[in-house]
Structure 1
Amino acid sequence: MADFPRSLRDAVITRDDPEYARARAVWNGVIDRYPLAVVRCRSVDDVRLAVEIARRHLWPLAVRGGGHSVAGHGTVDDGLVLDLARLTGLEFDPDRRLVTAGGGATWGQVDAATQAAGLAVPGGVFSRTGIAGLTLGGGYGWIRNRYGLSCASLVRAEMVTADSEAVTASATENPELLWALRGSGGNVGVVTSFTYRAHPVGPRAYFLFVFHDARAGRARRGLRLFRDFCRAAPGEVSTLAFLGRVPDAGEGFAAGTAGWPFVGFAGLYVGDPGEGASLLSPLREFSRDPLADASGVTDYVDVQQVFDADYPDGGRYYWKSVNLETLDEETIDLLAEAGRSAPSDLSTIDLWHNAGAATGPVDGALSSHAAFMINPEANWVTAADDPANIHWVRELVAALTPKSDGSRYLNFAGFQEEGEDAVRATFRDDYVRLARIKARWDPENCFRLNQNVHPAA
């Protein structure tokens, strides 16, 4: 504790503190790391001091926003964790359609503020996700095809650099830094506040959320329908398909269906709810008697929370991704078989369709995306089942990779294991530019607990 200034000591949780077990815990129960200390930052000055101490002692430095990084980027063994959970201040200007939130804020907090004016920032699909990690890694959500990924709506950021300097990134101040923050995965500093442009959404919208029986080859037919639907879908709709099995305690499913394979569809229409219902009806009506159907007109904030119960704190999670331009018949066969053979009934294979603003040009490090992002997500409960679930994801990703350009969605990146080849493939020609910016702001690679971009020589 003597290494920390007096102004910071009461915010520092060390290994002998009764709060340590709770302070070190993160959302993903597979991640079990023991930092030297957790600093519960209350201000930008706290962040600056903590970065300075970590650099002085050559301690590994992890930055935790919402704490929901599936890869465990928000913690580290034998290093320092900067916990931003107390930096949640929020300012909203509905007239200018701008919202500023602290680096520890969640999407649920941002949505609650902006929806009062019928506006929204493109966020995730889980309301307790932190805005920081999601934005810095890209940010897939329910309005991506209409308004782009989360990073595309970032217009200003306040950041602490590796040399503990507080700087602003905007179109007029350090514009290269703002470019890097739009999708670089936290490679260049600790963002203490984000300012976004909000867009007209809701507060009521049509949301598709339906599960169909996938026995007897219907999973393949469902994926073909999804592929064909996406070819003609307008930018106002953002959809995903998902394969899995009905869990034993599946709320909303008919009795006796536990263990049945399903093909599901979810999607949000930005615009007139009646038009949305008509447009999305082919996916909803794929079968006459769906296993479960919660589709309808609802509040946008409720759509943002629809998956919250599916990802409890302490559950065990391992997710990866592959970007594909098309869904050919061989790919559909692979996905259908993998969905049937998942070790856990809680796991799914998610197919995110990207078009419109989600694939359009963005003045940022993550600027283009394939038509489909395939995301096998293993979700389970018991540590003894770790090997089987992790192998299931890796096996499917390995089978799909030859069909991909090698790029990944780096927020779904296993356990910090994507190598430099995957990072280079993801940023494509922008990798060199990003490496130069990294060298300018973090030449010693202080911020390396991410899908890391090495500083240019």
Structure 2
Amino acid sequence: MSTITPDIRTEDFSGELVRPGDPPYDELRAVWNGSIDRRPGVIARCTGVADIRSALATARRTGGPVAVRGGGHSFPGHSTCDGGLLIDLGLLKGIRVDPVRRTARAQGGVLLGELDRETQAFGLAVPSGIVTHTGLAGLTLGGGIGWLMRKYGLTIDNLLSVDVVTAEGELVTASEEVNADLFWGIRGGGGNFGIVTEFEFRLHPVGPIVYGGLVAWPMDRSPELMRHYRDWLTDVPDELTTAVIHRWLPSSPMIPAELHGRPVVAVVACYTGPVEEGERLLAPLKAFAPPLLDRCTPTPYLTLQSMLDPSFPHGRWYYMRACDVAELTDDVIDVVAARGLAIDSPYTSFPVFHLGGAISRVSADSTAFGGRTSGHTVNFVGATLGPEGFEAQRDWVRTSWQALEPHQSGVYVNFLTDEGSARIRSAYGPATYDRLQALKQKYDPGNLFHLNQNIPPDD
């Protein structure tokens, strides 16, 4: 195991240095995915740019691995390491909202729910993800899909500027006007080019009440429901974003006891226009058949944003594979329905997100994000409470992904696990990947930031 000497000088570091054996070490080394069990040599809990620069100077001297953690949601565990330096941004929680200019600045340790809370105080929102304890930094750097994406684009499409500490410890600003090459790569290229300490976003009027939630039918109706859903999608406006989810209904006070553990196919929706228009739009979908459960109603936006939080708590064991598909053909629907019926864990699920809308109207070469033309993205997530049964869920994920492989048209980089360089290339496409590799050579030629979906500076 590679180790790093924890020799960050205390006079240069105002945060907290946590080492093996320190009382908070085991708590602070844990990440969201409980199947990841790694032991950094030192955890540097940074309070600002000076701390980050000091930690990076130590990393350059010692040569050990460097991991960077915002929210710690990386499925394959890239936000931690064994025997190296973990730069923890969790204390960087500053958020500043300008309701007049409709912009927000947020530091690198902010979680989605924390940003939502501040922006919704003014009836505004940044398009972001679907689980509120996700880190803003990791979500944004990979693209950022969520319930507002068809109307307002990905999270990166609403990014105005970033402050970045490079591998050499230089603090630079990147935007369309300054360091535009870096700004292009930051938007989709992940953490390959530096540590983003602050983001500036464009805000949009959203809520406080939207029309949305979940409507569920028996899972054995999935083939019919998904064909009905596919036909219904042809006329929906950009204000509506939806996903189809296959899972067992959880035990929850919000769900009638007789439905706990019931296998369902559900549509989750968020409509950002007038509530009465949302009711009208969803009525034909609901008319497919009497639902087992209808929780699609006028809902506070903050409630809708946190709706899936209970399904993806910290500490469960997760394994996932994902892919994009161009459209919901009959063959794709048949595969999706069959894999839903094969679920045998109350914690396993998979969403099929409807893309398009504003996402597809951004030119493919304006950001590093791939998949602008994808119709849907599918995310198979196997989960257990711990190691018991985990291998079976991992097999279900792999089998599901393989069944859909003939229909794949790419992959969302934030949904990648450790799948090798070919899959990373497929997430971007040849031209974008080559451009990202040249950018890596410029900003991180030594590949200090390699614990990510890595783009090496040379092959």
Asked if the contact 1:99/1:195 (under 8 Å) is kept, the reply is yes
**Structure 1 residue 45: Cα displacement:** 0.6
Q: Equivalent residue of 2:247, what SS?
A: strand
Deviations 1:364-394 (A, max 9, x none): 1005241010111112213021211111111
Task: Give the alignment partner of residue 33 of structure 2, picking from 28, 40, 47.
Answer: 28
- Equivalents in 1 of 2:239, 2:118: separation in Å? 23
Following the alignment from structure 1 to structure 2, what is the Cα–Cα distance between the partners of residues 413 and 343? 23
Residue 192 of structure 2 is aligned to residue 191 of structure 1? no
Which residue of structure 2 aligns with residue 148 of structure 1? 153
TM alignment of 1:69-148, pairs within 5 A: 69-148=74-153
In 1: Cα distance, 2:384 partner to 2:283 partner: 32
Task: Give the 3 Å change call, closer, same or farther, for CA 2–260 of structure 1 in structure 2.
Answer: closer
* Aligned residue identity for 1:181: I
Task: Provide the rounded CA distance (Å) in 2 between the counterparts of 1:277 and 1:203.
Answer: 17
Tell me the equivalent position of 1:451.
453
Q: Which residue of 2 aligns with 1:5?
A: 9
Partner of 2:284: 282
* Gaps in structure 2 of 5+ consecutive residues: none
CA distance in 2, matches of 1:122, 1:172: 23
Corresponding residue for residue 318 of structure 2: 317
Which of 366, 372, 377 aligns to 1:373? It is: 377
Deviation track 1:30-55 (CA, whole Å, cap 9, x = no partner) reads 11001111100001010111111112
TM-score when normalising by structure 1: 0.95
Return the alpha-carbon distance in structure 1 between the equivalents of residues 206 and 109 of structure 2.
24
Identical columns (%): 38
Residues 273 and 39 (structure 1 numbering): CA distance in 2 closer, same or farther, change over 3 Å? same
Q: Which residue of 1 aligns with 2:436?
A: 434
Letter of the 2:232 counterpart: F
The amino acid that maps onto 1:89 is G
Letter paired with 2:42: A
Is contact 2:15-2:51 (8 Å) kept? no
Stretch of structure 1 that moved more, 51-60 or 135-144: 51-60
Whether the aligned pair in 2 keeps the contact of 1:335 and 1:349 (CA below 8 Å) is no
Instruction: Tell whether the 8 Å contact from 1:208 to 1:280 is kept in structure 2 after alignment.
Output: no
For residues 169 and 317 of structure 2, the distance between their equivalents in structure 1, rounded to whole angstroms, comes to 35
2:382–2:393 contact (8 Å) kept in structure 1: yes
Q: How many residues align?
A: 450
Aligned to 1:64: 69
After superposing the two structures, state which structure 1 stretch, 258-267 or 60-69, moved more.
258-267
Q: Which moved more, 1:342-351 or 1:388-397?
A: 342-351
Matched, 1:334 2:335: yes
Q: Sort the Cα spacing of 1:250 and 1:298 in 2 relative to 1 into closer, same or farther, 3 A.
A: closer
Q: Tell me, yes or no, if the aligned pair for 2:14 and 2:46 is still in contact at 8 Å.
A: no
Which range is displaced more, 378-387 or 94-103? Answer: 378-387
1:161 aligns with 2:166: yes
Mean Cα deviation higher: 315-324 or 99-108: 315-324
Residues 298-327 of structure 1, C-alpha deviation per residue, up to 9 Å, x if partnerless?
A: 111111111112222111111221100012
Matched residue SS, 1:359: helix
Cα gap change, 1:379 to 1:361, in 2 (>3 Å): same
Structure 1: gaps (5+ residues): none
Look up the SS of the partner of 1:48 in the other structure.
helix
Quote the Cα distance in structure 1 between the aligned partners of 2:257 and 2:102: 47
Distance in structure 2 (CA, Å) of the matches to 1:258 and 1:274: 31
Q: Aligned residue for 2:247?
A: 244
Please list every run of at least 4 consecutive aligned residues from structure 1 whose deviation after the TM superposition is greater than 6 angstroms.
Answer: none
Secondary structure of residue in 2 paired with 1:297: strand
- Aligned alpha-carbon RMSD (Å): 1.6
Matched, 1:220 2:223: yes
1:382 corresponds to: 386
1:392 corresponds to 2:396: yes
Closer, same or farther in 2 for the Cα pair 1:252/1:16, shift >3 Å? closer
Select 1:48's aligned residue among 47, 53, 58.
53
Deviation at 1:197, TM superposition (A): 0.5
Shift, 1:294, TM fit: 1.3
Question: Kindly tell me: are residues 445 and 2 of structure 1, through their superposed partners in 2, closer, same or farther at Cα, counting changes over 3 Å?
Answer: closer
Alignment of 1:198-213 (within 5 A): 198-213=203-218
Q: CA offset at residue 16 of structure 1?
A: 2.2
**Contact 1:265–1:283, Cα closer than 8 Å, also in 2:** no
Counterparts of 1:52 and 1:360, CA distance in 2: 42
Distance 1:82 1:382 in 2: 27
1:258 Cα deviation from its structure 2 partner: 4.1
- SS at the partner of 1:12? strand
Q: CA deviation at 1:82?
A: 0.6
User: C-alpha distance in 2, partners of 1:199/1:305?
Assistant: 19
